[in-house]
DNA sequence: CGAGGCCTTGAACGTCGTCAAGTGGAGTGG
DNA sequence: CCACTCCACTTGACGACGTTCAAGGCCTCG
């Protein structure tokens, strides 16, 4: 049930009825909805330790797609196995439930981000979220972290155009909040970035960190 | 544990640590986040049969608020009671879990709505969602349904300004898609409205309908 | 060296927000 | 029964934030 996937590859597709869940071991993934006219909305980014389609355990048909961003290693676990596991260890069932609830909390934050912040704050907020989540699983390097997300995908995640994402990131850099390298970001001014994005990590519900 | 609440009254607030869940018996409610500068984003609307803060069972602190829209009758059920109930009837636990997963699915749809549709489609989509959900619990009247949601709240739900919501609803009426009365909507052209909002009810995951 | 991604840039246009004022109905009190 | 008030809805003008289109630059990889 182990697989290595190339970048930009769908793991599950909208309307599918999957019989297994996906656990990300290494790499990056994202969930998205494709709309008419080539438009696309990215719903979330996923990092190692996440189970992005855990909801398929109880929702038969997918209402969105899941794809890799970079080359990734994933474990595919049959629903039956998961269910048996939960029956054997009820505590784990609650952990999984909680995990999907955090998922929902992140979506709520995204609704807010896209609905009520302008470009500058939106991107700042997203960069904050990724930093905190990556740090929680030990994937940051001081103030720097890997960001293998092209601007086109940042655009689809924030509901903006690529062009505008580009210009806005230039602003963020110009204001000394971040620095970008190849496929990574350095946070130069955490407080500034936090304020710009009105970022409050409550919605991530970090405690001890499951998984 | 039964209570009647006046319109515009908070049931739980952001940062609270509730020890009970709320079941809506009658009326309308909504969840929202308040941002700096008086801005607000509405995250979802809730109708009789919904348990809008079921997530508090596993997420200690609220990351948003819940309030009534119209006068409402709600049941407040202690977490302990819910937990005992789930232990006694494991099937119900799954139903509840599933319910929160549908919640998340609706948030995903809202992210998409706010992120990638323009005003006309956004409002159309929202009107479609409310129609289908209300019909599922038998609260529609043919092609008409109660809509006790002022334009200011529609604006905060769609990430628009009141002014623009107003003008866009005029367009929807002018195009013969809907008619509005006092606090209700009549759908004049369902197919037209569906297309305008690119509405696909899959995300509601209606099956048999759990209470 | 050529090709394909991704990032970057400029200019023109459009959707939507802001500000500010005005209308109309429902409920209240004189 | 008639002000008066409050709240929701409506309107016009203007400007801003963000999009679209189109082109060019850079790096990587074959």
Residue nearest to nucleotide D28 (CA to C1'): A182
Structure-token match 């989509």, residue found: B125
Residue B85 three-state SS: helix
User: What is the pLDDT, as a whole number, of residue B208?
Assistant: 62
The 10s digit of each residue's pLDDT in A142-189 is 999 999 999 999 999 999 999 999 999 999 999 999 999 989 999 999
- Please check whether residue A139 is in contact with residue A48, taking contact to mean a CB–CB distance below 8 angstroms: yes
User: What is the pLDDT, as a whole number, of residue B182?
Assistant: 86
Residue B141 three-state SS: strand
The 10s digit of each residue's pLDDT in B154-190 is 999 999 999 999 999 999 999 999 999 989 999 999 9
If you average pLDDT over residues B145-153, what whole number do you get? 97
Interchain contact B112–A (C-beta under 8 A): yes
Nearest Cβ partner for B64 among A102, A108, A114: A108
Q: How far is the CA of B71 from the C1' of C23 (A)?
A: 27
If you average pLDDT over residues A18-35, what whole number do you get? 97
Give the residue from A110, A119, A127 showing the smallest Cα distance to A180: A127
- Please check whether residue B93 is in contact with residue B86, taking contact to mean a CB–CB distance below 8 angstroms: yes
Measured between beta carbons, the chain A residues lying within 8 angstroms of B43 are 108, 111-112
pLDDT mean across residues, chain B: 96
Contact A112 B55 (CB under 8 A): no
- Please check whether residue B62 is in contact with residue B18, taking contact to mean a CB–CB distance below 8 angstroms: yes
DSSP A156-196: HHHT--HHHHHHHHHHHHHTTSEEE-SSEEEES-HHHHHHH
Q: Is B209's pLDDT higher than 80? A: no
The 10s digit of each residue's pLDDT in B96-136 is 999 999 999 999 999 999 999 999 999 999 999 999 999 99
Distance of CA B175 to the CA centre of its chain: 26
Q: What distance in Å separates the CA atoms of residue B94 and residue A99, rounded to the nearest whole number?
A: 15
Within 8 A by CB and 6+ apart from B94, the residues are A58
Nearest 10 degrees: CA dihedral of A182, A187, A189, A195? 110
Within 8 A by CB and 6+ apart from A90, the residues are none
**% of chain A exceeding 90 in pLDDT:** 97
Q: What distance in Å separates the CA atoms of residue A192 and residue B46, rounded to the nearest whole number?
A: 36
The 10s digit of each residue's pLDDT in B52-95 is 999 999 999 999 999 999 999 999 999 999 999 999 999 999 99
Q: Is A211's pLDDT higher than 60? A: no
Nucleotides of D under 7 A from a protein CB: 7-13, 17-22, 28
Contact A205 B63 (CB under 8 A): yes
């Amino acid at each position: 049930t182990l697989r290595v996937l190339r970048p930009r590859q769908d793991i599950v597709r909208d309307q599918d009825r999957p019989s297994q869940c996906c656990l990300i071991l290494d790499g990056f993934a994202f969930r998205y909805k494709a709309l008419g006219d080539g438009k696309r909305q990215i719903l979330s980014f996923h990092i190692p330790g996440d189970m992005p389609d855990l909801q398929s355990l109880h929702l038969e048909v997918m209402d969105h797609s899941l794809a890799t961003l970079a080359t990734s290693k994933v474990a595919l676990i049959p629903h039956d196995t998961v269910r048996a596991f939960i029956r054997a260890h009820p505590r784990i069932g609650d952990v999984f439930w909680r995990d999907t609830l955090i998922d929902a909390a992140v979506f709520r934050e995204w609704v807010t981000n896209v609905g009520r912040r302008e470009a500058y704050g939106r991107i700042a907020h997203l960069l904050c979220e990724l930093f905190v989540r990556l740090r929680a699983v030990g994937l940051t390097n001081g103030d720097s972290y890997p960001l293998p997300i092209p601007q086109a995908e940042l655009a689809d995640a924030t509901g903006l155009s690529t062009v505008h994402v580009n210009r806005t990131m230039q602003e963020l850099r110009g204001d000394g909040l971040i620095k970008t390298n190849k496929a990574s970001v350095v946070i130069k001014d955490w407080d500034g970035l936090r304020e710009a994005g009105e970022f409050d990590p409550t919605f991530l519900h970090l405690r001890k960190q499951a998984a």
